[in-house]
Structure 1
Amino acid sequence: MNETKTTMTGYREVPFLQIRRTLQSERAYESHAHPTLSIGFMMEGKTCFQTPHGSFLLEQGALAIIPPHTQHSCNPIKESKRSYVMVYLDAEFCARIQARHFKEASTLLPLTSPLIFHKALFEEFTRIIKALIEGYSPLHVKALEALLETFFWLYTKRCVIQETEKTLHDVVRFLESRIDEPLSLNDLAKRFGLNPFVLTRHFKQAYGCTPKHYSLDVRIDHAKKLLQGGTPLALCAQYCGFVDQSHFHHFFKRHTALTPKEYQVNFIQ
């Protein structure tokens, strides 16, 4: 029986890009979010792709599109394995590409669909990513940037974008800056002069999750960066506001389907 194998690949020359490849996996994990624009595709098998827009069956031939800070999960069909690739693209980098076509793109504009069926785009995207997994090449990176220009031109939603309510924006900035010591919902609401239930309701409408879940996503993402840099697990737990290493291990695996050690060992740079 084949065992699950996951590798994370990052490039010093290309800080806006990371690639995760998982082979022969039956692992499942909880709904979570990333600060990046994530694009995934199946190499083998099928998976259940769940987003705030609904549940979809993801197979070879389609690209799964996950905007930044959007709750999602991609879990296996019962008693089956799947192999897949996830590509993580820095949101500010993507917004700069969008801005070449859409003047209002000071931040990443919304995209039209969580699933894209475009044969030529799919084949070119998967070809470039598979080549990058095999080894870094500036030519492949240029090809990816050119493809993303086409992608954003075709699939950016043409609409008027309203700014996030200032108070919620301030709450998000606070959560992202207090990774080491997250506040309770009551303390957070008190700090911003809101009723806890009102804060939760408006936050979920804007971000698709509770402030607590958002904070956990941010802390897990920061832990990934620390692990990539070789930070010991115990210090990662401490820096990211977890009670202890066991607590860190539990939540990290629930979010990524990997233990912190597995993630650190399998990160390639």
Structure 2
Amino acid sequence: MKKIFTKIFIDENLPFVELRYSNSNIHYKKHFHDTFSLGANKEGESIYTNANKEYLLKKNGLSIINPKVVHSCNSCSDILNIYYMLYLDTSWCKNIQKLINENVQEFVSIPVDILEDENFYYKYLNLCEYLFSDYTILEKENELIVFFLDFFSLYLERTNIVIIDEIFQEIVTYLDKNYKENISLETLSILFDLNSFYIIRLFKSQMNLTPHAYLLNVKINKAKELLQKGYSIVDTALECGFFDQSHFHRNFLKIVATTPKEYKLNFVQ
């Protein structure tokens, strides 16, 4: 019999999110949360009730639970389910929704109880595994923003945004000049006296990137220049402001589709 476990991800730097990873066939009573919740079985199947409706939650399905909705999700076999459950503060969700539709004033409840979509199912599993990994807080925040922009876009009509080019260019110039730093959304918000979610919206509208993704691209482009000039991988990572070689390696590979070592060896002047 498999050992029962429960792991919980929480971080004071990401106070709006809690993630539970567990295996269990314990049956829970119907209950509700103040948060918006999204769950999935990695293994096993469950009877999922939401308000007065009942579903079979199996692979490729995401349970969608709006705040204050009475629900339960219990294994329907003797096999231990392995599942993820993500709890998000509704204020944070509302701000993400507002990036999609500027008319959003309060959290918009999702009109369905379950999403059966293989693509989003695996995106969700990847996100959960990412949060439990040793990636940085800035990277984890970025992945949460990217996932939920895509997720909420399924249910919200997009609106146009009037771009203030001068402000956008000022932020871009600042990031270009200070690429060695690991600049957070909070830092940009304070420096430019703008709501952090508005800054995200500027970048998504102009470049379809988050500010963090833009900064990573600047760092990697600079790293490519240094590697071409013969800098060592260690010195390149330090010069471009990466936390360590592992941080540099995984981001270089993700953007360039090759490792720093391979790039350095195969680059032709």
TM-score tier (shorter):
0.5 to 0.7
Higher relative contact order (CA 8 A, sep 6+): 1
Shift of 1:157: 8.3
How many residues were matched structurally? 157
Letter of the aligned partner of 1:6 in structure 2?
T
Match of 1:61 in 2: 60
CA contact (8 A) 1:4 1:26 kept: no
Match of 2:133 in 1: 134
Shift of 1:3: 3.0
Letter of the aligned partner of 2:42 in structure 1?
M
Match of 1:12 in 2: 12
TM-score (norm 2): 0.55
1:30-72 alpha-carbon deviations (Å, 9 max, x no partner): 1111111100011111111001151111112111110111110
**What pairs with 1:241-252 in structure 2 (closer than 5 Å)?**
none
Matched position secondary structure for 2:94: helix
- Work out whether 1:110 is the aligned partner of 2:109: yes
Distance in 1 separating the partners of 2:77 and 2:157 = 35
Letter of the aligned partner of 2:152 in structure 1?
F
- When structure 1 is superposed on structure 2, of 67-76 and 126-135 the one drifting more is 126-135
Shift of 1:129: 1.1
- For structure 1, the residue ranges without an aligned partner over 5 or more in a row are 159-269
Distance in 2 separating the partners of 1:42 and 1:28 = 15
1:64-101 alpha-carbon deviations (Å, 9 max, x no partner): 11011111000111433211010011100000111122
Match of 1:150 in 2: 150
Matched position secondary structure for 1:152: helix
CA root-mean-square deviation: 1.8
Identity, in percent, stands at: 25
Shift of 1:105: 2.1
Letter of the aligned partner of 1:19 in structure 2?
L
Distance in 2 separating the partners of 1:79 and 1:129 = 25
Shift of 1:152: 0.8
CA contact (8 A) 1:98 1:105 kept: yes
CA contact (8 A) 1:39 1:65 kept: yes
Match of 1:74 in 2: 73
TM-score (norm 1): 0.55
CA contact (8 A) 1:49 1:56 kept: yes
Distance in 1 separating the partners of 2:151 and 2:2 = 35
Q: Which has the larger radius of gyration?
A: 2
Letter of the aligned partner of 1:150 in structure 2?
D
Shift of 1:136: 4.6
Letter of the aligned partner of 1:122 in structure 2?
Y
Distance in 2 separating the partners of 1:157 and 1:5 = 40
CA contact (8 A) 2:31 2:70 kept: yes
**What pairs with 1:84-233 in structure 2 (closer than 5 Å)?**
84-137=83-136, 138-156=138-156
Shift of 1:156: 3.8
Shift of 1:5: 1.0
Letter of the aligned partner of 1:101 in structure 2?
I
- For structure 2, the residue ranges without an aligned partner over 5 or more in a row are 159-269
